[in-house]
Amino acid sequence: MVGDRHHANKLLVMDFNTRLLAAADGDGAAAIAPLVGDDFLWHGPHPLNALRGAGAFARDFWQPLHAALPDIGRRNDILFAGRFQDRDWVCATGYYTGTFVRDWLGIPA
């Protein structure tokens, strides 16, 4: 059933976020490795844009963000999933929260 597939995919994304937030010292690549494949593609804000692979995601996005906000938390406001051109996708929007202790992407602490 399609709904079950989309629900399962959303649970994977929730697990992805839970693992990231629990990762020691912001080691995002190790945290998400069991959940993503070599073709993992993450779309984020400019200047990061699209990052391919767990290593690039962790190095360019997660580790710098975690260093800037060591007490980081996340709140999802919208989480939905679908299928397009025989591929599954999941989209989430929400907020990362925390105390800025280091500049990130030109945003001063």
Task: Locate the domains of the chain by residue range.
Answer: 2-97
Q: Whole-model pTM?
A: 0.84
Shortest CA distance to 15 belongs to which of 29, 35, 1? 35
The conformational region for residue 25 under phi > 0 = left, psi -120 to 50 = alpha, else beta, is left
Task: Tell me the three state secondary structure of residue 50.
Answer: strand
As a dihedral over the C-alpha atoms of residue 29, residue 31, residue 36, residue 41, rounded to 10 degrees, the angle is -50
Position 47: which residue type?
P
Q: What is the pLDDT of residue 4?
A: 93
Task: Show Cβ contacts of residue 25 under 8 Å, excluding neighbours closer than 6 positions.
Answer: 66
User: What pLDDT tens digit does each residue of the chain (109 aa) get?
Assistant: 667 999 999 999 999 999 999 987 778 899 999 999 888 999 998 999 999 999 999 999 999 999 999 999 999 999 999 999 999 999 999 999 999 999 999 999 9
